[in-house]
Structure formats: C-alpha cells, structure tokens
Amino acid sequence: MSDAPKPRRLTPKGRATRDRIVEAATALIAQRGVAGVGVEDVRAAAGVSGSQLYHYFDSKQALIRAVITRQADSVLHPDEPRIAVLDSFDALRAWADAAIERQQENDGRGGCDLGSLAGELSASDEESRGDLADGFMRWKDLILNGLAAMRDRGELRPEADLDELAFALLAAFQGGKVLAQTVRDVQPMVAAMNATLAHIRSFAT
Amino acid sequence: MSDAPKPRRLTPKGRATRDRIVEAATALIAQRGVAGVGVEDVRAAAGVSGSQLYHYFDSKQALIRAVITRQADSVLHPDEPRIAVLDSFDALRAWADAAIERQQENDGRGGCDLGSLAGELSASDEESRGDLADGFMRWKDLILNGLAAMRDRGELRPEADLDELAFALLAAFQGGKVLAQTVRDVQPMVAAMNATLAHIRSFAT
C-alpha cells in the first residue's frame, strides 16, 4: 500500500483553505468524474488563487489523493455515527438503512465514493489505487472488529469466517451502490444489503 | 434507458475493421481508464487511418458506447458458456469460480468490465450510463431467469424473492470485483460470491 499524502502542519486558516479546496474538488468529481475536472475548475469553485491552490496541492494527482483520503475518512472517522460501532445486528441494519437512504436522497446519483473512484482510477493510477486499497481495508477492518465483538459476546457462532463476512458486506455495499447509481434506483443496493445481512444473521447463535 | 448505438450494415471486411477498433479501444481502456485514452491512441493501436476510424465512430463517445455494448455482450451472449445457463446451484458456483479464476489470471487487474466503466462514467455521461444500465439489467434478468427455472423445478422455495436474489448476486459480483481490482487480491470477490451463493442456497427445498 502507498503512503497517504501527509498534509503539512497548517495554521487554522490554512487548514480551512485546504479543506475548502478539497471540498470543492470532491463536489466537482461527484458531478463529472475525476477525468472531467481540471485543477482550474477546482480553483474557481473554491474561490482561491492559483498560488494558494499550488501551495497545498502541487498537482491534480495530489488533489485526487486528498479527495480519496477525505472520502475514506468520512465513513471511517470514529466520530462518524453511521459506522462508528457495527457490533450488533441492529447496528449493521441501521448502517445499511442509512446508506440506502442517503443513496435515495441523492436520487440514485452520488459518484464520489471510494467505489466510483476505484472504478475510475484503480487501473490507471497506481498511487491512487494504493490509497483506495488502504481505505477499503480500513473499512473492512472496522466491519470485522464489530463482527469479532459480536462473536466474543457469543452472538455469532465461532465457526463463522469473519474476514469473509466483512469482505462480503463491503462488496455488497460497493456493488449495490454502483448498480444503484447506474440504474438510478436503490433496489439493487437494498437487495445486496438484505442478502448479505441475512447471511451474516444465519451465523447467529 | 437509452438506445444502444446501432452498427451500420457492414461488409465482412468492414465488420472486421470495426471489431478491430473496438477491441483496441477495450484493451487500452482496461489499462488506462476511459479518461486516459484518446481517439488517436485507439487509431494507432488498431492500425487504421483516421478516416477509417471516423467512418465507424464519429466521436470518442460513440466508441465508448461500442465498448460498453461489447463488454455487456461478452458476458451475455447466449453462446457464452460462462453464463449461458445459470439454472442450478452447480452452474451458479461454476460461473462464480470461472469469474474468480479470470480475475486471478489478471493478477487482480482488469478494469474494462461494466462495473469499472460504471464507476467512471455513470456520474458524468448520461448516454453511457443508459447503456451500462441496460447491460446490468440484461445481466440481472439472465440470472433471474435461471433462478426462476430452479424455482419452477421445485429446487428453490416459492417464497424466495428471486428479483432480490438476482440483484444481490450481481452486486456481489460487481462489488467483489472492484475490491479485488483495488486491493489486487481475489479474496473479497471469493468472499462476496461465497456469501451470496450461500444465501441463495438457504432457499433450497
């Protein structure tokens, strides 16, 4: 895996400017895909000068990696209520329902998640692929930790392959989402989450 | 859904030239993503003149839509043994195993499937999104038809929601594949297919 780009030590004002740039890039990429967004578009949308932007990001590549890190953190940050604790069947169901609801609010759109970025970048951009892989593995481990807590409390049978279940749930989420975005209907996402959660529940004690 | 681009009526030689162009575009997109490939790259790789290429495809967009149709057909064509008949548990397992094996042969790479194209194009290119949605729905219906045959033969219980199972299996395939491509390991794809096939099997009579 590659090292994620490390933000320099920033003043609060510098941090706010950097955040504004990454936020603008994220919104534009959600609309147009990575390929459809130029550094100049991001600069204009963020309302910063070229030299300001260049101070924080010396290339489009650096900007894309910051967007990936932001999107990975947005589901993984411990303060994030959606996914902070996935250590019960109810919590897993609530997480799935929240994700489905967000997808529905977006009218089936929403193309700046890790899965869409992976579809666009994994084949062509090795550094971004490494960052995306890190994001997915952190996300998988978060699901895995929840399942392990359930097993340790005796709610899942010891023979359950938790690594397999965690990957399966993440894959169902990603695959359901890309189908929902493409057919503009949440039904595939609902189906994928229902099936995988039912499978996990089949290991309940 | 959009109308798929209709190839003009072609002579055998014209058809071969057109196929060569689409094949070259598919291979280049698998390596670099749609954004990384220009019409001139495709022209050079296919070994055709600019006017020949323009005769068949008057824009990059037209070329991309032909690649999407090609990729959809490659898994959906009735002569395709991998997916022609998915009407038994053994056939579903064999299909999953073949897909996993292809992914492994590719060293975890292989970015020109419908899922990767959807990740790159669904948000930004409405015509391509329509073509991709058509491809996914045809694929889902093919899985659904196999499951319906199993139910009609009494191998699946009548209360099974076949539409949900078909979407779940397609989502597991897509999500498993994008994770495998990103982490460069087939494990997530194996996990996703195992979980969803086990769930389908839980409806066996």
Q: What is the CATH classification number for the domain harbouring A64? A: 1.10.357.10
3-class secondary structure, B204: strand
Structure tokens at A111: 């193309």
Query: Is there a domain that residue A5 lies in?
Result: no
Would you state the pLDDT for residue A2?
45
Q: What is the mean pLDDT of residues A47-68?
A: 93
Residues 69-88 of A with CB under 8 A from B: none
pLDDT at A1: 42
The answer to the question of residue A112 being in a domain is yes
Sole residue written with tokens 């990957």: A167
A2 assigned to some structural domain = no
Average pLDDT over residues A119-147: 88
d(CA A73, CA A65): 12
Ranking B6-10, B51-55, B132-136, B169-173 by mean pLDDT, the lowest is B6-10
d(CA A56, CA A137): 27
> Identity (one letter) of the amino acid at B181?
Q
**Region A14-27 average pLDDT:** 93
Residue A70 is predicted with a pLDDT of 87
- The CA radius of gyration of chain B, in Å to the nearest whole number, is 18
pLDDT higher for A114 or A75?
A: A114
Q: Which residue has the tokens 């196999």?
A: B146
The whole-number pLDDT of residue B1 equals 41
- The pLDDT of B17-28, averaged and rounded, is 93
What is the per-residue pLDDT for A192? 97
pLDDT reading at B189 higher than 90? yes
* ipTM of the complex, rounded to two decimals: 0.86
Model confidence pLDDT, tens digit, residues B68-108:
988 888 765 544 555 567 899 999 999 899 889 888 887 66
Q: Best residue in B100, B140, B169, B183 to probe A by mutation, most A CBs within 10 Å?
A: B183
Domain count, chain A: 1
Given pLDDT bands bounded at 50, 70 and 90, which one contains residue B5? Answer: low
Q: How far apart are CA A28 and CA A111, in angstroms?
A: 10
Mean pLDDT of all residues belonging to chain B: 87
Residue B53 lies in a domain: no
End-to-end CA distance of chain B: 37
Name the minimum distance, in Å, from the CA of B133 to any CA of chain A.
Answer: 5
pLDDT tens, position by position, A76-114 = 554 455 556 789 999 999 989 988 988 888 766 665 578
Q: Are B111 and A154 within 8 A, CB to CB?
A: no
Res A201 pLDDT > 60: yes
- Stretch B148-156: mean pLDDT, rounded? 96
Per-residue confidence at B36, pLDDT binned at 50, 70, 90?
confident
For residue B82, the 8-state DSSP code is T
Interhelix angle B187-201/B162-183, nearest 10 degrees: 170
Percent of chain B predicted with pLDDT > 70 = 88
Strand partners, A2: none
Cα–Cα nearest to A67, from A102, A8, A18, A108: A18
What pLDDT is attached to residue B111?
57
Question: pLDDT at position B99, please?
Answer: 86
Q: Is B167 on the interface with A (CB under 8 A)?
A: yes
Chain centroid offset of residue B47 CA:
26
* B116 vs A170: which has the higher pLDDT: A170
Range of the structural domain that residue A161 is part of: 12-201
Mutant choice from A92, A137, A178 vs B, greatest count of B C-beta within 10 A: A178
Least confident span in B10-19, B73-82, B149-158: B73-82
Upper half-sphere CA count for residue B4 (Cβ side, 13 Å):
17
The percent of residues in chain B predicted with pLDDT above 90, rounded, is 58
> Taking CB atoms and an 8 Å limit, are B118 and A182 in contact across chains?
yes
A 10 A CB-CB count for B151 gives: 18
Task: List the end-to-end C-alpha distance of chain A, in Å, as a whole number.
Answer: 37
The pLDDT of residue A98 is 87
Nearest to B172 by CA among B115, B121, B129: B115
| pLDDT computed for residue A10 by the predictor | 84
- Residue B103 counted as domain residue: yes
What one-character DSSP code corresponds to residue A88? S
CA distances from A23 to A4, A53, A65, B119 (A): 18, 13, 13, 20
**Confidence grade of residue A152 (pLDDT, cut at 50, 70, 90):** very high
User: Angle CA(A164)–CA(A186)–CA(B149) in degrees, nearest 5?
Assistant: 70
The residue among A4 and B137 whose pLDDT is bigger is B137
The pLDDT assigned to B77 comes to 55
pLDDT at B115 over 90: no
The answer to whether position B141 is within a domain reads yes
Q: Residue B73: its pLDDT value, please?
A: 80
Mean pLDDT of all residues belonging to chain A? 87
Chain B residues whose CB is inside 8 A of the A195 CB are: 164-165, 168-169, 172, 195-196, 199
Confidence of residue A151 (pLDDT cuts 50, 70, 90): very high
What tokens were used for B29?
């997109």
Contact with chain A for residue B8, Cβ under 8 A: no
* Cβ B2 vs Cβ B127: under 8 Å: yes
CA distance A195 to B202: 11
Four-point Cα dihedral A109, A113, A116, A122, nearest 10: 170
Mutation target vs A (from B141, B159, B178, B201; most A CBs, 10 A cutoff): B178
Burial of B129 (0-12, 13-18, 19+ CB in 10 A): buried
Residue A7 falls inside a structural domain: no
CB A53 within 8 A of CB A19: no
Whether A183 is in a domain gets the answer yes
3-state SS track over B23-75: HHHHHHHHHHCHHHCCHHHHHHHHCCCHHHHHHHCCCHHHHHHHHHHHHHHHH
Q: Which residues in chain A are contacts of B178 at CB distance < 8 A?
A: 115, 118-119, 122, 174-175, 178
Q: What is the pLDDT of residue B8?
A: 62
Phi, psi (deg, nearest 5) at residue A204 = -65, 150
